[in-house]
Amino acid sequence: QVQLVESGGGLVQAGGSLRLSCAASGRTVSTYVVGWFRQAPGKEREFAGVITRSGGTTYYADSVKGRFTISRDNAKNTVYLQRNSLKPEDTAVYYCAANLAYFGGDARRYEYWGQGTQVTVSS
């Protein structure tokens, strides 16, 4: 099975940008569809976007479309989430998750999860 570790979180001002990384170990990340989710304080976990195994196709939630970009470097066993034009409402813990075939936003369909990385956007 694969282990996932997110990094790159921190404090950023509104309007700024931040790139999160999701590093895989145990198995090659190219085996998996990888999604990004986020959970704000007091709210349920929310789907942000997902990328296919090859990286050829991505899909985003409406709330982040046009501002977030998911990419992957299978040679580095890493998936990225580039976030631009950040807003205070983007403050959340961000998680990457993996599964073998499902390409969508249902968190229950993802088998493997990272521990999350906190992102705080100040106004």
CA 43/CA 25 separation, integer angstroms: 30
Q: Is 119 exposed, middle or buried (0-12, 13-18, 19+ CB in 10 A)?
A: buried
The whole-number pLDDT of residue 51 equals: 97
Plot region of 70 (φ>0 → left; ψ -120 to 50 → alpha; else → beta): beta
pLDDT values of the chain reduced to their tens digit, one per residue, 123 residues: 899 999 999 999 999 999 999 999 998 989 999 999 999 999 999 999 999 999 899 999 999 999 999 999 989 999 999 999 999 999 999 999 999 999 999 999 999 999 999 999 999
Q: Tell me the C-alpha distance between 6 and 97, whole Å.
A: 10
pLDDT for residue 1: 87
